Chain A
């Protein structure tokens, strides 16, 4: 790899890292402002406004907020149920904030889990997510088919006694590709998803279809291929009896032969990673 290419890539990763940090900052700021009685809609609006004030104009998807047993997608049947509702936050309730802003052409997609006051069950779920982050990275470096990794994550969840809740996402994805997005003055949205990003995803899907890979990391046959180089927003989501927890962050996959370089998390200085480090 030439230095020029390496430099270009480093700059690109810096851009992604910056927007991912911004999104996590937003999550922490909004989480700190949540109080009893706040609705999911209000929490979603707080995220949107916070990011708009800091220059975000386009979205991979608009911010979501889930409270209480909606963090575990209890009784979710149609995708419309993902959208924020008038559910009010109560003391002890778990919540998840999920947002995917586009900033200066770079996309982030993050998920932040927390609770209003103490929630020992969600605490435990967050602790147990650490093993999933390690498992995913290890197996991606081993170049195992994405579908097989998905099944291994599933098995780990069953062993931990949890339900797989990312299965509820569209196509049951545990991750999806994200990419740079061209900045336009007008960025319309379709069902909460930015059209520019959807266009990128569709182009990837078409590409992948010809080459035998998919930008969606799912339990289905179309994900039965080794990890495709690029940026993947990985979002394992655990559910346990009406309580859910997830993290979502970008995993960088490259075509490097060096295992360390072949896949790595974009940023290791994120709230959930710091939390695990502090716990040790």
Chain B
């Protein structure tokens, strides 16, 4: 499968309003029809990766917008690209490919702009079952968005206006006569594929098609025929008559996410999704898009109302695959629950089978569409490799990996035996290495972004004479995370190190205390557990910090106040920190 061609597509030509449209179809015609509309400067092949992923379940229809790809252009060009005419084209296509059943509409960029028109005008009512919009607002909504901000220009609103105004530079450029056409047919058309690869991080797989210079030259009329007139006099009745799923890439260089702030007033049934990516998501994130489109279409086909998960970041993690190690208790379990609440699919990994199973069961109750328990010791290389193979084959590529499993070890350096060292490094460091190597490797290979969270500790930067081995292992995790973050930054994969501090989990009651006998170890475990209980910082708050770190792509996240304090001290007053390291813990 290459990125450029639509394999096994059946083609037909549809004549309408003086142009001939090139329509491609994939999948069984008996299945629900999904119509994919491309943007500017693109042709229907921009959807190749997404269409291939949808074709096994749906009747996928793509067409070249008039003047693009292998569709013919209207004569004259001026006035030939109005939204009314584009709506005629859309109706002609859906009447040809799905005369009896309403279709599920998906638009990107200008494909989304025109689809907003389709989804809000009366004459298409009953022909659209759902609409998934990405990176293309309704010009009418946009017009109202500008007007509300001009009418009451608070500082924030002025900022939003200026922000979007700067992002729209190319719209002004496209309004100049002749020059854009000359540029596209000349040097810009030649360098464009490289520009996309370089700045938009799309794979270099043969797309755009050779028709790019003409597509881009003709498509300039999309802007010239519609933007000024619609923004000056936006329709007052632009209400969507179908459920809408809005997918917003947060790194879009051309559209501010603020544009959709007041969308609920136009769309009664709105589902929001966000993903950290740039503008051309049909090419950079096809897996995620196919999953969200598939889920939305299926939900609307079956007639059930789409109930959004209750979690704070449901727009971001809905349907994503999240793997958490050490998920049988404590921070890992709370993290699995927080992701489950946001609608993620959860894989709970723990060496304690009962704990993992319990976490998976409760995750499903909390809103995870699917949750599985896997019993694996993260320090066991072979077991981890087997797990990685199984996960890839059965559940897919992990979107968020949380390397959280860890054990405690306290005691002076000279009491810590080589076996103790080996054990703590095996779990705390090698467990993370295996996780990053295997699941991070799958993420990088897929090339569609992702996130890795490693649970380090405040002990990673707070030295202590009581925790030499533990602190060493966690410091290694912290540095590993920083290095990996640098390495994976170019591939859209974020890496965060979480440094919780004293959190009330049962790590205290399983911790090893080197250099003391069994009874004394028990006593110290109990004593530490009591102290941590008195501190009583809940693991749920750490879980919240982890989700926030993923959403914001934070590098190092100290969580508890003492962890944050120590983090500051490690930078500004390291000597004071060293003095604290000499203190005897109250055990």
Contacts and interface: CB of A to CB of B under 8 A. Distances in A.
Contacts of A159: 355, 358
B337 A241 contact: yes
B305 to A, nearest CB: 14
A161 B333 CA distance: 8
Interface stretch (B143-151, B359-367, B401-409, B444-452): B359-367
B358 A160 contact: yes
Contacts of A163: 538
Contact of B329 (A121, A158, A241): A158
Interface residues of A, number: 10
A124 interface: yes
20 contacts: A120-B365, A121-B365, A121-B366, A124-B362, A124-B365, A158-B329, A158-B506, A159-B355, A159-B358, A160-B358, A161-B329, A161-B358, A161-B359, A161-B362, A163-B538, A240-B362, A241-B337, A241-B341, A241-B366, A241-B540
B360 to A, nearest CB: 11
Nearest to B337: A241
Contacts of A120: 365
A240 B359 CA distance: 12
Interface string A151-171: 000000011110100000000
A17 B557 CA distance: 55
Contacts of A158: 329, 506
Contacts of B538: 163
Contacts of B366: 121, 241
A158 B355 CA distance: 10
Interface of B: 329, 333, 337, 341, 355, 358-359, 362, 365-366, 506, 538, 540
Contacts of A124: 362, 365
A124 B362 CA distance: 9
A121 B365 CA distance: 6
Contacts of A241: 337, 341, 366, 540
Given A161-B358, A241-B341, 4 more contacts: A124-B365, A159-B355, A159-B358, A241-B337
A174 to B, nearest CB: 15
Interface in A152-211: 158-161, 163
Residue in A124, A159, A161, A240 with the greatest tally of chain B CB atoms within 10 Å: A161
Contacts of B358: 159-161
Nearest to B543: A241
Contacts of B359: 161
A158 B540 CA distance: 13
Residue in A120, A159, A163, A240 with the greatest tally of chain B CB atoms within 10 Å: A159
Contacts of B365: 120-121, 124
Rank and list the top 7 A-B pairs by shortest CB-CB distance, nearest first: A121-B365, A120-B365, A161-B358, A124-B365, A161-B362, A161-B333, A241-B337
A160 B355 CA distance: 8
A218 to B, nearest CB: 14
Nearest to B540: A241
Interface in A121-165: 121, 124, 158-161, 163
A132 to B, nearest CB: 16
Nearest to A122: B365
A124 B358 CA distance: 12
A64 B341 CA distance: 29
Contacts of B540: 241
A163 B358 CA distance: 15
A124 B540 CA distance: 19
Nearest to A119: B365
Contacts of B506: 158
B369 to A, nearest CB: 14
Nearest to A163: B538
Contacts of A161: 329, 333, 358-359, 362
Contacts of B329: 158, 161
Nearest to B340: A241
A247 to B, nearest CB: 20
